[in-house]
Structures are given as structure tokens and as C-alpha cells.
């Protein structure tokens, strides 16, 4: 059962009313089917209006929906076979980042992703998808492994940010992310990233320096989570909605700014409404990108990746 978000309540109420009328028709024998049809029409219109006019903040709510498909959902949905691999070989296995090798239509691909949980217990285990340095180092180990065996790398990004805690600082979260940025820029295999939910700050970018970058329709990606921006700018994290508007964080914004290569369509209301459809859309985008990149000579691949990031930024010069 999907939980409704605040702005989806009118839809849920109307749905409940339709059900009520249907039940009444069955019980009483009085034919209200005409009313039901009319209400169903209204439901369709209402749904259309609500989802067509989503504010950035409402999109953030969808991106954070507890039922939203996670990295492992996408990986298992896309692969016929998948072996998860663990650990950074230095300190521990960080459950906030998952990775391994999968077969996509018979071809091997290394998958890496931030992993969130579905319920509180699982989220505590996954640290709410906020990775420690060892998560980024595990990711890098798997990328280097992919490079050795000539497999492309696909990363699913879904994090509010890297874990802002003492343990992360002591073990060098800055260094772990920085090294990933540098090494991903030079990785000698094709790379694709998809922001599936939240793309928060350096913690997101730490898996995101890739040949192709996609975002799911309702995902957000920004230099900082909107409520954190609000608390810095206006000392009030409740103004997250305002910050979400100003900071241009939606998939459509990032496409317009030339940062991402494409927006992957989601089922109306979000991936959680129809996970199978969302998985199919992601698979199509990822496989399409890998087909395009396959066979590009490494020197050209690296040059294009460099050029892609080299032109990012807007400034003035006399």
C-alpha cells in the first residue's frame, strides 16, 4: 500500500468516494454507475492537474517517498543475474552503498548505488543512504575492478548527502569523495549515472562523474539539500520549499542548464506507483547509453568526458 503525500490527498479522497458508491450500488441495487463514471472522469482530471503542476518541493517529497524503488530494486529488475560484492578492503562494508556485477541481456555490467531502506529498521542499517568514506572506497574498488575487466559502470544515485558525522570525518570523507571524482574522470570504461531519487551534494557527485548523466523525472540534484540551504540562507529549515524553487534542482531544470543528458520518464505520481514501469524506463535509458558508448576508443571516451565537465559553469570574462 503506497502512502499518500499531502498534496495527493484530494485524489485519495475522490478514489475512496468512488469505491463507496460502487459498494453502495452492489449492496442496494440502486444503479449509480452514471455517477461513478462522472466521478472517474473528475478523478482523471484532478490527477492530471495535480501531477502536471507539481512544485519543486512536491517533487522532493516524491523523490523521498519511502516506497520509491531503491538501487537494489533497479539492479535486480534490470539484471538477469546479479552478484553483490562487499567491502572496501580497508575498514568495513558500508551498507549505504551497494555494488556488484550483473548480466544485462547477457552482457556484464558493474552496478553501484546508494541504498536506502524501506522501513525504520532497514533505514538504520542503511544509514538512510548516507555513505561513509568506506562506501565511496568500495565503489571505487568496484569501478577499478570493472576497468580491469572492461565492464561498463552504471551508478544509481540516491542520497541526501554523505554522512555528516564524526566517524565519517575521522576516516576522511572528503578524501574519499575527492579521489572518486578524480578517478571517475579517468576511468577507462564507459560510465553512466542515474539520479533515481535524491542527488544531495558531494555525496551524490561521489558516484556521479560519468560519460552520461540521467535523472528520473521526479528526482532532485543540487549542491545542497533544499532544507539545509534554507537553514543556511534564512536560518530556517522550514523554508525548504522556497529554497527548492530558487535553487533549480529538478530534472527539468538540470536538463535546461545543460548538466544532464536526459530525463527518464516515471509513472504518473512517481516510480513507486508502478515500479515495474520505472525499472523498464531506467533499463531502456541505461542500455541505450551503453550501446552508444560501446566501441568508443578509450582516448576519445576520456576526452569527451573531460570536455563534458570542462564546459560546466557560467562566468564573465572581459
Partner 1 sequence: MLKDLFHKRRQYATLGLPESARQEGAAQKDNIPKGIVNKCKTCGAILMAKELQKHLHTCPHCGYHFPLDAPTRIEWTLDNDCFFEYDAGLTAVDPLAFPDYPAKVRKAVEQTGLAEAVVTGEGTLQGHPVVVGVMDSRFIMASMGSAVGEKLTRAIERAGQKRYPLLLFTASGGARMQEGILSLMQMAKTSAALQRLHEQRVLYVTIITHPTTGGVSASFASLGDIILAEPGALFGFAGPRVIEQTMRQKLPDDFQTAEFMLKHGMIDKVVHRKEMRNTLAAILRMHGSRGWGGGD
Q: Which residues are at the interface with partner 1 (CB under 8 A)? A: 162, 164-166, 168-175, 177-179, 181-183, 185-186, 201-202, 205-206, 208-209, 221-224, 228-229, 232-233, 246-249, 253-254, 257, 259, 305-306, 309-310, 312-318
- Output the smallest distance, CB 173 to partner 1, in A: 5
For 179, counting Cβ atoms within 10 Å of its Cβ (0-12 exposed, 13-18 middle, 19+ buried), the class is middle
Separation in Å, CA 100 to CA 136, 214, 258, 279? 14, 20, 30, 18
All three cell numbers of 128, joined, read 538512510
Q: Whole-angstrom Cα distance, residue 310 to residue 304?
A: 10
User: Which C-beta is closer to partner 1: that of 98 or that of 205?
Assistant: 205
Q: Tell me if 157 sits within 8 A of 199, measured CB to CB.
A: yes
User: Which C-beta is closer to partner 1: that of 78 or that of 162?
Assistant: 162
Q: Tell me if 279 sits within 8 A of 69, measured CB to CB.
A: yes
All three cell numbers of 201, joined, read 551534494
Q: How many CB atoms lie within 10 A of CB 207?
A: 33
User: Which C-beta is closer to partner 1: that of 150 or that of 165?
Assistant: 165
User: Which C-beta is closer to partner 1: that of 54 or that of 224?
Assistant: 224
User: Which C-beta is closer to partner 1: that of 38 or that of 182?
Assistant: 182
User: Which C-beta is closer to partner 1: that of 79 or that of 229?
Assistant: 229
- Output the smallest distance, CB 50 to partner 1, in A: 26
| Nearest in space to 216 (alpha carbons), one of 69, 78, 118 | 69
| Nearest in space to 220 (alpha carbons), one of 73, 57, 6 | 57
Q: Whole-angstrom Cα distance, residue 63 to residue 234?
A: 24
> Taking the CA atoms of the chain, what radius of gyration do you get in angstroms?
21
Q: Tell me if 152 sits within 8 A of 110, measured CB to CB.
A: yes
User: Which C-beta is closer to partner 1: that of 104 or that of 260?
Assistant: 260
Q: Are β-strands 153-159 and 191-200 bridged in parallel, bridged antiparallel, or unpaired?
A: parallel
Helix (H, G, I), strand (E, B) or coil at 6: helix
User: Which C-beta is closer to partner 1: that of 74 or that of 221?
Assistant: 221
106 sits in the region (left: phi over 0; alpha: psi -120 to 50; else beta) called left
Helix (H) / strand (E) containing 134: helix 133-148
Amino acid at each position: 500500500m503506497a502512502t499518500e503525500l499531502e498534496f495527493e490527498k484530494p485524489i485519495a479522497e475522490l478514489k475512496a468516494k468512488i469505491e463507496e458508491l460502487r459498494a453502495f450500488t452492489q449492496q442496494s441495487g440502486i444503479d449509480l454507475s452514471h455517477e461513478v463514471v462522472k466521478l472517474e472522469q473528475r478523478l482523471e482530471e484532478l490527477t492530471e492537474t495535480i501531477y502536471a503542476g507539481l512544485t519543486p518541493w512536491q517533487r522532493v517529497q516524491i523523490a523521498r517517498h519511502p516506497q520509491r524503488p531503491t538501487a537494489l530494486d533497479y539492479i535486480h529488475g534490470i539484471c538477469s543475474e546479479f552478484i553483490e560484492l562487499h567491502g572496501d578492503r580497508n575498514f568495513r562494508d558500508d551498507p549505504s552503498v551497494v555494488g556488484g556485477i550483473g548480466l544485462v541481456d547477457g552482457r556484464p555490467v558493474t552496478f553501484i548505488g546508494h541504498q536506502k531502506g524501506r522501513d525504520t529498521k532497514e533505514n538504520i542499517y542503511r544509514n538512510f543512504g548516507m555513505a561513509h568514506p568506506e562506501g565511496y572506497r568500495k565503489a571505487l574498488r568496484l569501478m577499478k575492478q570493472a576497468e580491469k575487466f572492461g565492464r561498463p559502470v552504471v551508478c544509481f544515485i540516491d542520497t541526501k548527502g554523505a554522512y555528516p558525522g564524526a566517524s565519517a570525518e575521522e576516516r576522511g570523507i572528503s578524501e574519499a569523495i575527492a579521489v572518486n571524482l578524480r578517478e571517475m574522470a579517468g576511468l577507462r570504461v564507459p560510465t553512466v549515472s542515474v539520479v533515481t531519487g535524491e542527488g544531495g551534494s558531494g555525496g551524490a557527485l561521489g558516484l556521479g562523474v560519468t560519460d552520461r548523466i540521467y535523472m528520473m523525472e521526479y528526482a532532485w540534484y543540487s549542491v545542497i539539500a533544499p532544507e539545509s540551504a534554507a537553514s543556511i540562507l534564512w536560518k530556517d529549515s522550514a523554508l525548504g520549499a522556497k529554497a527548492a524553487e530558487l535553487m533549480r534542482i529538478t530534472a527539468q531544470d538540470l536538463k535546461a542548464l545543460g548538466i544532464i543528458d536526459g530525463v527518464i520518464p516515471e509513472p504518473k505520481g512517481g516510480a513507486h506507483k508502478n515500479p515495474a514501469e520505472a525499472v523498464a524506463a531506467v533499463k531502456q535509458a541505461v542500455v541505450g547509453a551503453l550501446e552508444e558508448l560501446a566501441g568508443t576508443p578509450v582516448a576519445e571516451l576520456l576526452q569527451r568526458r573531460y570536455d563534458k565537465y570542462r564546459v560546466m559553469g557560467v562566468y564573465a570574462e572581459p
